[in-house]
Structure 1
Amino acid sequence: MSSSSSFDAAIAAIFQRQPGRMVPDLDRITDLAELLGNPQTTFDTITVTGTNGKTSIAAMLASLCTAAGLIPGSYSSPHLQSVTERIRVAGVPIAEEDLARHIAYLQPFLDVVDPRHDDTVTFFEVLTALAILHFVDVPVNVAVLEVGMGGTWDATNVVDAAVAVIGRISLDHPELGPTVADKAAEKAGIIKPGSFAVCAAQEPSALSVIRDRADAMDAVLKIEGVDFELLGRAAAVGGQQVDLQGVGSTHNEVFLPLYGRHQAVNAALALAAFEAYHRFEVELDPELVREGFAGAQVPGRLEAIPREGQSLIVLDGAHNPAGIASLAAALTQDFAFERRVAVLGILEDKDVEEMVQALAPAVDHVVAVAPDNVRAGDPSRITAVCDQLGLSCEEADDVDHALDLADGVTRPSDGVVVTGSLFLVGEARELLGLDPA
């Protein structure tokens, strides 16, 4: 069997494990890890949670680690085009043959663990184990793990992370509870005994829960706006320059090749987390910080795709009201478009009304489309909200058709933004001929 065929067969096998529901426990991943000899204990770990920004923060942290001469592994979700994007070493995705090899190695262990539990090992749990195996195989010095959902019962919480990073928390994923405080309680579960934690600015109810968890775990907690912060930012070609106040030092005019104030705030959080990894005992070299942030790449998050003679395309995977609000602010503040057309596709379980309302002030026209996903929402829901808001809208059959419709109403001075779902962004990247990131 060719390496490509082996990869396809291996991926097909683990995709069959995708659950129809979340299973709130760590029983299977813990059992699997113990059977494997607890490989997650062989390297340092930083765990990143939050409602939005996890992938960006993790990418910045991995880049800072690389600049420091470390070999970082990073694990994120979901992927845009290929599952290999989820597992990286120093920013480079795992090779297909390595992923297939790890799956083959893992299968006998899965055969043992599956019958021991009411639910079989899930897709995400398998991928988490694969990431850990790959990081041991390389080997890496430190792993930056992005939580899939929540924190306490997420498979990544099988590790005892030295550093916990909690980004902004907002209302998304009803599985985690009806209030921001409920969601904070789940996410704060990544704070482990004697660890270090850094936390973005939060609503008072959420921050109270996080403080209580840190106190109970005897963890050192640093908070945005109290211990570190974004001091300022300015537009720059290909991104922005940011001034960051860390816990222990200030770094001015740092180039960040990402757009949006929210990414500048994420950079402040990543800097504090990197200081936490050094136990707040090391004054960071300014050149290391500059190199680290300059190397951060986060495809599908305000990713600008230029096209000769046509409007610029911006790909952004914002998929909840808070994410869309950050996108809308960036479109008006960071890009000099005359008009903006949104290709918008939203999953069925998302708050369509709030998302469209948040995006409406920043766009002149909407092309509604269904992402190619079993959870895709009906584009007519988007159209209905646009009609209520007096925002012009039309529906497309698929993403290819949607981009054609957007091009039909834009000029080179305008912008097209593809958003509402990371699945939609992945489809657009494929159609635009972009390689998996």
Structure 2
Amino acid sequence: MSKTKRTLPLFPIVFTAVMVAASVILCRFLGFSPSNSTVRFDLGFLPLAVVGELYGFPYSGIGYLLADIIGSLLHGYAPNPYISACKLLTGIIMGVGFHKKKVTLLRSFVVFTINAVIVGVGLMPPIFIFMYAYEPGFAYATRAINAAVTIPVRVFTFYFLWKACGKMLTEMKERQQNFTNKKKNKSSADFSAYANSFQAVTIPGLSRIKALLDALGNPENSLRFIHIAGTNGKGSVAADIASILTAAGYRVGKYTSPNLLRVNERISVASEDIPDGALDALLERIRPLADKIREEGGIPPTQFEIWTAAAFVYFKEESCDYVVLEVGLGGEFDATNVIPQNEIAVITRLGMDHMQYLGNTLSDIARAKCGILKTDSATHRLITPAQEPEAMAVIRAACEEKGIALTVPAPVSEGAEGYLERFSVGKYQHLLTGIPGYHQIENAALAVMACDALGIGEDAIRQGIAAAKNPARFEILRENPTVIYDGGHNENGIRALTASLDRYFPGEKKSVIFACMADKATDVSLSLLSEGTEAFFFTEVKDNPRALHAEDLAARAAALGISGTVCKNVGDAYEAAVAAGRLTVICGSLYLYE
């Protein structure tokens, strides 16, 4: 696994270098030691003791080592490795003894006494015994006398120096750290804002996500994926499958998009969204890797690629048994398709959407979605509903090419229970959906057959389907009057919505609050919604650069002979619609959910 690039702590290094120079001057030029004497008096320790208090033993230890080496060279002789090692140890003792601790006379006495006993008296005499042929007793005695004299000098000079200058030096260090942290935090904040912002333009391709995951140790290689592509119903099928696997006792990760209220919703484990702390830590971990990719390739990873990488790392760290993985856009070149294998693939209902990226025909769109099919698959199976003939032909050909068995469920509706649906599919009889809406029969059937192929038992399938939840899909927000929120945002989605309205509210007049993205085709959707609608309220998604302005949406509707009230925000539209006291439907975009 490649390591994160770290920035050198420049200021501590420069400060230590200045103190090394001061130490050399105080020791080599201003210190006193008779020739070949065991006695020495100097204040060379003082700058390095300050370094030890401010920055710790790595800096003070290496600093004292360098001071000895440089001092020796300046005096024209090679440094003695043994003496240099003793200086390194002295710096370490001062760093350990003083760093992040209050400087007192007692602490100063303890630190310098320990150093004098270990280094001055314990380790230095052998130099004089073996190099200068001193008598051992004389060498140890004179070093002990030297220590007895220098300990008080060191204690008082350092204590009073710190008392006079310590506050100033500490404030200097804090200002430097604050400056560094501000730069770091600004970089982190900028990256977090980028990662969490709306992405106006997608950038197909897998090179950036591959590079990102390589740098993160390829967590995707150790995960088991249920991969879901399609135009409509992906989120509901993902919710159904995750609920079934959870009911079967598995620890399940789920990755979906977009989020409704909080970005954390995109990544969940065991039905719990990723906590803020874990998410922040992941984004901070990914930030330098994304910067490196940008520097090397010119194009930074997209928001979706950042989120996908974060999700895979989180799922691995959380030891997920299965990961339910929803494609973001298309299939073949979507960031989720970086996975090397899957347990099973699901392609939900296909329709005409995102044509600027996927192609202008249903065949082109089907071909892009079939890009998620893998020859390396645990079940070698694809689950898909009966699609339009041109899409089905592409799907069958792709399955045949990759040796994938195709399952096309044929669910049978058995009637509604409130806004939920009773149905049977395959050998499973009288199942009940947990997500409301007539169209959820098809989505639930896909989930049931996918889990059946994975070998999940009937009890878990039955329990999981009934317990599944997916907000903003024919969600009943209130009664009297009934307000429904549905994320339908393309022709297929609006057809499913109107079919459910006809089933549960036959002949009932309604108000419609509608907003959408500027790149969405709206004519068919508006025409479908206009049947039985007494009033339209056109609004817009706030803080989204892709959003269609309410005035422009009203103009599109007017061209179809549909009139309505323009509201600058969904809150105003909601109040106006509910005041009329009739059934109200909010639709057109998942981003409208508040």
C-alpha distance 369-66 of structure 1, shift in aligned 2 (>3 A): same
The residue aligned with 1:197 is: 382
Q: Does 1:415 align with 2:583?
A: yes
Please tell me the residue identity of whatever aligns with 2:576: L
Q: Could you tell me how far apart the structure 1 residues matched to 2:437 and 2:194 are? A: 39
Structure (1 or 2) with the greater strand fraction: 1
Residue correspondence of structure 1 range 210-359 to structure 2 within 5 A: 210-223=395-408, 228-237=409-418, 239-245=420-426, 250-276=427-453, 278=454, 282=455, 284-307=456-479, 310-335=480-505, 338-359=508-529
The residue aligned with 1:383 is: 554
Please tell me the residue identity of whatever aligns with 2:389: P
Give the TM-score, by structure 1 length. 0.87
Please give the secondary structure, in 2, of the residue aligned with 1:189. helix
Q: Could you tell me how far apart the structure 2 residues matched to 1:334 and 1:88 are? A: 32
1:386 Cα shift?
4.7
The residue aligned with 1:148 is: 328
Q: Could you tell me how far apart the structure 2 residues matched to 1:382 and 1:23 are? A: 27
The CA deviation string for residues 178-228 of structure 1, in whole angstroms up to 9 with x for no partner, is 1010011110000011432111211121111112221222222212xxxx2
The residue aligned with 2:362 is: 180
The CA deviation string for residues 38-68 of structure 1, in whole angstroms up to 9 with x for no partner, is 1111121011011111000001010011011
Which ranges of structure 1 fall in alignment gaps of 5 or more residues? 428-437
For the 8 Å contact 1:63–1:90, the answer to whether it is kept is no
For the 8 Å contact 2:259–2:265, the answer to whether it is kept is yes
Please give the secondary structure, in 1, of the residue aligned with 2:489. coil
Q: Could you tell me how far apart the structure 2 residues matched to 1:34 and 1:362 are? A: 54
Amino-acid identity (%): 33
Which ranges of structure 2 fall in alignment gaps of 5 or more residues? 1-180
The CA deviation string for residues 233-269 of structure 1, in whole angstroms up to 9 with x for no partner, is 3211352222222xxxx22222212222211110111
1:8 Cα shift?
7.2
Please tell me the residue identity of whatever aligns with 2:359: G
Q: After alignment, is 332-341 or 186-195 more displaced?
A: 332-341
The CA deviation string for residues 259-302 of structure 1, in whole angstroms up to 9 with x for no partner, is 222111101111111123x2xxx4x5332112101221100111
1:19 Cα shift?
5.1
Aligned length: 404
C-alpha distance 362-243 of structure 1, shift in aligned 2 (>3 A): farther
Please tell me the residue identity of whatever aligns with 2:566: E
For the 8 Å contact 1:45–1:161, the answer to whether it is kept is yes
1:337 Cα shift?
7.7
The residue aligned with 1:14 is: 195
Residue correspondence of structure 1 range 57-68 to structure 2 within 5 A: 57-68=237-248
1:91 Cα shift?
2.0
For the 8 Å contact 2:191–2:287, the answer to whether it is kept is no
Q: Could you tell me how far apart the structure 1 residues matched to 2:493 and 2:263 are? A: 23
CA RMSD between the two structures = 2.2
C-alpha distance 10-181 of structure 1, shift in aligned 2 (>3 A): same
Q: Could you tell me how far apart the structure 1 residues matched to 2:191 and 2:462 are? A: 40
Please give the secondary structure, in 1, of the residue aligned with 2:531. helix
For the 8 Å contact 2:293–2:299, the answer to whether it is kept is no
Please give the secondary structure, in 2, of the residue aligned with 1:229. coil
Q: Could you tell me how far apart the structure 2 residues matched to 1:69 and 1:7 are? A: 38
Structure (1 or 2) with the greater helix fraction: 2
C-alpha distance 198-299 of structure 1, shift in aligned 2 (>3 A): same
The residue aligned with 1:431 is: none
Please give the secondary structure, in 1, of the residue aligned with 2:429. strand
C-alpha distance 163-311 of structure 1, shift in aligned 2 (>3 A): same
Q: After alignment, is 110-119 or 28-37 more displaced?
A: 110-119
Give the TM-score, by structure 2 length. 0.65
Q: Does 1:163 align with 2:344?
A: yes
The residue aligned with 1:399 is: 570
The CA deviation string for residues 295-354 of structure 1, in whole angstroms up to 9 with x for no partner, is 2110011111125xx412111111111101110111110246842111111211111211
